[in-house]
Amino acid sequence: MKAIAVVLVAGVLAACASTPRIYSTESPVADFSAFETYSYTAQLGTDEPGGPTTLLTQFLRSAVDRELQARGYRHIEDGGDLLVNFYVDTQEKIQERLPDPYYGYGYYAYRHGMYIGWRGYYDGQVSQYTEGTLNIDLVDGARGVLVWEGIAIGRVTEAARRDVQGAIDDVVPQIFAEYPYRRGP
């Protein structure tokens, strides 16, 4: 069961490696200038409760350490001004592409509504894929309140599944590009 969870999580991050959609939200009342240190939550969302630290968690911690330290924050084991947590999820998706009977699609788009082709040429296209989501949360350690959240959503690719660490190293900087703060003046 744990092995399946790790593969799914790897797929989530792999999804983010192929031009993910990036979103972020921040608290309008948080004083980001007051944060100097960070720690990780006791139970990260990428680990099973009471279980060992997964490779995924190790890769994520490494990538987040690089991003936060580049912004001047200092890592401490416990009691950081900011607490970091991660969560990943995958969903199987089905995409249906229905053609416009007057314009078609792809090759048949050249007709531009001038005439209608035979109905057999206009079959829809259906594809199934795995979509992955990675959340990175920053929590005000003193108040226990979420102050920033970065999210990457994208398709899982086979290439990224084979190189989970590379996928993480690609997507985490994209997420943190949405984080506008640095420690200090």
**pLDDT per residue as tens digits for the range 100-122:** 555 555 555 665 556 555 555 55
Output the pTM of the full model.
Answer: 0.77
DSSP β-ladder status, 37-40 and 74-75: parallel
Statement: residue 18 has pLDDT above 60: no
Q: How confident is the model at residue 177 (pLDDT cuts 50, 70, 90)?
A: very high
Statement: residue 45 has pLDDT above 90: yes
Which pLDDT belongs to residue 17?
A: 44
Identity of the highest mean pLDDT range in 86-90, 92-96, 120-124:
86-90
Q: Which fold has domain 2-96+125-176?
A: Double Stranded RNA Binding Domain (3.30.160)
Which pLDDT belongs to residue 116?
A: 59
Q: How confident is the model at residue 64 (pLDDT cuts 50, 70, 90)?
A: very high
Q: For a pLDDT cut of 70, what percent of the chain falls above it?
A: 74
Q: How confident is the model at residue 125 (pLDDT cuts 50, 70, 90)?
A: confident
Least confident piece of the model among 58-62, 84-88, 100-104, 162-166: 100-104
Three-state secondary structure readout of the chain: CHHHHHHHHHHHHHHHCCCCEEEEEECCCCCHHHCCEEEECCCCCCCCCCCCCCHHHHHHHHHHHHHHHHCCCEECCCCCCEEEEEEEEEEEEEEEECCECCCECHHHHHHCCCCCCCHHHHCCEEEEEEEEEEEEEEEECCCCEEEEEEEEEEECCHHHHHCHHHHHHHHHHHHHCCCCCCCCC
Which pLDDT belongs to residue 1?
A: 47
